Amino acid sequence: MIKGTLVKLRALRAEDAEHHLRWRNDPEVVRWASAGDPCFGPVTAEAIGIGFDTMLRLVPREAAVFTVEDLTDGRVIGMAEYRDLDPYAGVATLGVTIGEREFWGRGHGSEAVRLIMDHLFGAYGLNRLELDTWSGNERAVRAFTRLGFHEEGRRRSAVLVDGERYDRVLFGLLREEWSAGRRGSAPTSTGTRHP
């Protein structure tokens, strides 16, 4: 378990599948999480079951999916993950989805990303973290920038949402940038630091 001030990240459990099924069949969650990618949703319970079989067997040295719980009441509100962890290059890719709409824009997703950043830079000694979103998801662009990520490029007109084209926005954060952000922050009551 990885604990912050708003959320905690815990290991994925088989019973979390019901939440994923609900989120991936919610058109607004699908829109913002994946730019409406039909591979993300809608999906059947059978497809979620197959995906969960794989996710529950992930090797943490390569990838992991965490359940995001609200610290106030322990409610499951989303998922956060890392994948493509390359120990030789020192790189991993991150992702987060807050599936419960009432938690959007309240800092829960940002904190989940920050907790994974701290975990990967701390436990694995990585040199670089990457993530991406689509240019229409301005809330995610702002959040990633506030967390210290730098926009490194765009795949122009690579995303189609509701008949309109958007850019795929690519972000990166280097270890030294993360370290500098941690030195300039104050510890919280849980001992973690905020950039």
pTM for this model (two decimals): 0.90
At 53, which helix (H) or strand (E)?
A: helix 45-55
Sequence letter at residue 70 = D
- Convert the pLDDT of each residue in 146-176 to its tens digit: 999 999 999 999 999 999 999 999 999 999 9
Q: Contact, 142 vs 171, CB < 8 A?
A: no
Residue 37 DSSP code: -
75's CB contacts (< 8 A; 6+ apart) are 69, 100
| 116 vs 112: CA distance, rounded Å | 6
Q: 42: cis peptide before it, omega within 30°?
A: yes
What is the rounded CA–CA span in Å between residue 173 and residue 151? 9
- Residue 28 in this model has a pLDDT that exceeds 80: yes
Identify the residue with better confidence: 114 or 39. 114
CA 24 centroid distance within chain: 15
Beta bridge partners of 129: 92, 173
Interval 49-104: pLDDT, tens: 999 999 999 999 999 999 999 999 999 999 999 999 999 999 999 999 999 999 99
Dihedral of alpha carbons 103, 106, 110, 112, sign: negative
Cα pseudo-dihedral 125, 126, 127, 131, rounded to 10: -150
If you average pLDDT over every residue of the chain, what do you get? 92
178, exposed or middle or buried, with CB in 10 Å at 0-12, 13-18, 19+?
buried
